[in-house]
Amino acid sequence: MKRRSFIKFSSFALAGILTQACDPTNFQTYDISIRSDMQLGHLIFESTSFPEGNIFSTDYLIVGGGIAGLSAACQIRSRDFVLCELSENLGGSSSSQSYAGEIFSQGAHYDLAYPDYYGQETLRFLKDLGVIFYNKNVGLWDFVDSQYLIPAQVESNTLTKDGFREQILTPSELKDDFLKLLFSYLPEMKMPTRLINKELWALNKISFTKFLQRSLVLHPSFKEGIDYQMKDDYGADADKISALAGIHYYMCRPYYTKDVSLFSPPEGNYYFIKKMVNTLPKENIKTSHLVRSIKKTGGHFEVQVINIKHETVDTYRTQKIIYAGQKHALKYVFPPDGYLFKNNEYAPWLIINFVLNAKGKSDSFWQNEFLTEDPHFMGFIDNASQVRRKENYRVFTAYYCFDSIQRILFASITDKAQEIVTETIKKICLYFNQDISSQVEKVFIKVMGHAMPIPKIGYLFNDKNLVRSEPNIVYAGVDNSRLPLLFEALDSGIQAVVELDLV
């Protein structure tokens, strides 16, 4: 692998910019567009002055147009339903953006081939959507659109404080012992996690760090790598993540015994959103519709929905509700069940897309990971390693993951956008050892204050549908005691419909 010269990073951390005064005279100005649903939360309170709109009736109302909500909609596509999504666009944490004919991810951006011991309902659903097929050669469910598979030789490169390396966890005796410790769990780490044997649930009660320290002496640099991987997938380090979630990360697929395909379309997991939407009646999907309140009235529910574009409040009368939206808002929307999710903790993410008007002269790796002084910067995706529609554009998608208590800092994103972009470009320039700032034509920022639930100690195996107050309201989404993964989200939508059909 070709090595590039390394320039040591400063101790800059993005969180510092968000708390500093802005001095716009010290940096280049970029064309920036910001997308943030956090700005829409105030509408729940401001909408009290909005006029009443129309009254509608439907058998099913789905709250949320992300993976889980659309998965549920696909199960009832032939029934009478309406799906309400507060954003202008569908996708949730699997959304995308486009510019000059090029499309790119603004959230979750990949998945991997599935073992045949995963949940059969979800495997069948993905097969019916034309997404996967069973590959007998490797004994895995692989992806139909093989042009979006990322070759192993360009899969990743890691920048550390000491230079570049090929893997987050470098080969060593400690890594060998680490994998030996985990290998016995390989056949048990299924998805969805509801299928995991109850005998292993005790692993949900301790941290991944504590589990490892029972058998291993963790070198600080090795622990740093584990923490990075936990944060990258789960939003927090191994001290907070449960042992079961940590083991699952490494053992949910036969990574070390089979060739597990890595699937990353240019639009990321919005690919799956499109596949589902294409099977649904378009008139049933309502974007820019924010569910304000749910009330039980007699034998049905009265749901107040803010039509954001018209600034009116419509009423939907429905028999059954699938709540696939983020649960932190439930205490306002449906107070009787708000307490069910009070212990959920969400990781805030910031995603920045840089559209460059030239290819640049550099090696191309799909995932460019950073183990440097800034603990929040996870690195960036380079679309030069993916299928592109426009060869004259190159897109870098940078990811930041913050601590949950830092969410309040996102309120200053608009004022600090130029500084944030400038400092992120500096990181990428240092990575390539060349100045790319003059090539940046457009920048998109996606703010996700509640991007993913953190699978901390005790989080898993607490399905709130078992104790919900109303039989005809069910909860879908990975923030109902599931790992923040695509397969889990798909299954939660499927199971939500199963739950309602049992009533």
**What are the structure tokens assigned to 226, written together?**
């584990």
Mean pLDDT, the chain, rounded, equals: 93
Q: Considering only 166-170, 214-218, 472-476, 478-482, which range has the smallest mean pLDDT?
A: 166-170
Contact 114, 487 (CB under 8 A): yes
**pLDDT surpassing 50 at residue 21:** no
Count of C-beta atoms within a 10 Å radius of residue 216: 15
**What are the structure tokens assigned to 27, written together?**
């940096």
pLDDT of residue 281: 98
**What are the structure tokens assigned to 192, written together?**
């969805």
Q: Does domain 21-36+345-453 have CATH number 3.90.226.10?
A: no
Confidence class of residue 359 from pLDDT cuts 50, 70 and 90?
Answer: low
pLDDT digits (tens, 9 = 90+) for 384-441: 999 988 888 999 999 999 999 998 888 888 899 999 999 999 999 999 999 999 999 9
Confidence class of residue 27 from pLDDT cuts 50, 70 and 90?
Answer: low
Helix axis angle for 120-128 and 486-501, nearest 10°, is 100
Q: Which amino acid is at 429?
A: C
pLDDT of residue 3: 31
pLDDT of residue 388: 86
As a whole number, mean pLDDT of residues 356-370 equals 83
Cα–Cα distance measured from residue 102 to residue 89, given in angstroms and rounded to the nearest whole number: 17
As a whole number, mean pLDDT of residues 165-182 equals 96
As a whole number, mean pLDDT of residues 441-458 equals 97
As a whole number, mean pLDDT of residues 174-187 equals 97
Cα–Cα distance measured from residue 103 to residue 87, given in angstroms and rounded to the nearest whole number: 18
pLDDT of residue 82: 99
Closest CA to 320 of 503, 473, 501: 473
Single pTM value for the model: 0.94
**CATH dotted code for 39-100+267-344+457-502:** 3.50.50.60
Percent of the chain's residues with pLDDT above 90: 86
Domain boundaries, the chain: 21-36+345-453, 39-100+267-344+457-502
Partners of 406 in the β-ladder: none
Helix axis angle for 243-251 and 220-234, nearest 10°, is 90
The dihedral region occupied by 416, where left means phi > 0, alpha psi between -120 and 50, and beta the remainder, is alpha
Helix (H, G, I), strand (E, B) or coil at 114: strand
pLDDT of residue 28: 84
pLDDT digits (tens, 9 = 90+) for 187-224: 999 999 999 999 999 999 999 999 999 999 999 999 99
**pLDDT surpassing 80 at residue 285:** yes
pLDDT digits (tens, 9 = 90+) for 288-347: 999 999 999 999 999 999 999 999 999 999 999 999 999 999 999 999 999 999 999 999
Q: Which amino acid is at 295?
A: K
Cα–Cα distance measured from residue 134 to residue 152, given in angstroms and rounded to the nearest whole number: 21
Contact 211, 226 (CB under 8 A): no
**pLDDT surpassing 50 at residue 1:** no
